[in-house]
Structure 1
Amino acid sequence: MENDRIAGSAKDFAGKVEGTVGDIAGDAKTQAAGRIRKATGTAQNLYGQAKDATREATDAAVNYAKDAYENSGDTFHDGSQAIAKRVQDNPLASMLIAGAIGFVLALLTTRPPRHPRQRGR
């Protein structure tokens, strides 16, 4: 539990007590001071709750990212093993697919630049 929440709850309680004393005594100044202290305590308590919620959300996001990072190696390893098994089972098809991909990449990278059409000539 955050210090702001503890201090806020204490101020809230003290403000309630001070306001009640002001009501019993009929002192408007004490009543007003109690209400101000209560409002300050409530605000500080809410601030502490927001900090706690933010910290918990951040911790959850960090843990999720760590899990995803740690498991990504396993997923990559499993995928590469599956591809290696496919290549071993059917090497001719694998070579043809790799050759086709290489041919397409060569066409894309060695394509002559297009010249814009010249008007009027």
Structure 2
Amino acid sequence: MVDTNRITGAAKDIGGKIQGAVGDLTGSKHDSVEGRLREAGGQAENLYGQAKDTVRHAADEAYHYAEDFYEQGGHSLRRGTREVSRQVAEYPLASLVVAGLVGFGLGLLVNASRD
């Protein structure tokens, strides 16, 4: 989607060029200068619109990348959960020992931070 600043800027730019050319042809310095000023303002507005379009496009791209990474993370989490469940079902005693060691280590960390 094109920003409206780009459209109005381009229109002002063209209008300024025409007014400046008419001023040059008729010898009217006022119209010539005013046309050049309008042309410069139109170019500036057009550039502003281009910048807004660029930022909007970059934000859209970042959103799509984040959405893809979120989806991939969900798939990885589900695969990891299935694998852990499979390992626990296959090796229940080893799983209990590992869980106990993790709990003991966390207990030491919590207790050590109180001292």
TM-score strictly above 0.5:
yes
> Residue by residue, what CA displacement relative to the aligned partner does 1:3-52 show, whole Å, maximum 9, x if unpaired?
21111111111111111112222221111011001001101111111111
- The answer for the alignment partner of 1:103 in structure 2 is 104
Gaps of at least 5 residues in structure 2 are none
Which residue type is aligned with residue 34 of structure 1?
A: G
- The answer for the alignment partner of 1:119 in structure 2 is none
Identical aligned pairs, as a percentage? Answer: 44
- The answer for the alignment partner of 2:50 in structure 1 is 49
Distance 1:112 1:29 in 2: 79
Bigger fraction of residues in helix: 2
- The answer for the alignment partner of 1:66 in structure 2 is 67
> Residue by residue, what CA displacement relative to the aligned partner does 1:40-87 show, whole Å, maximum 9, x if unpaired?
110111111111112111222222223333333222111111112222
Larger Rg, first or second structure (1 or 2) = 1
Query: How many residues are paired up?
Result: 114
RMSD over aligned Cα, in angstroms? 2.0
Gaps of at least 5 residues in structure 1 are 115-121
TM-score (norm: length of structure 2): 0.84
- The answer for the alignment partner of 2:80 in structure 1 is 79
Distance 2:69 2:113 in 1: 43
TM-score (norm: length of structure 1): 0.80
Q: How far is the alpha carbon of 1:109 from its aligned partner?
A: 2.8
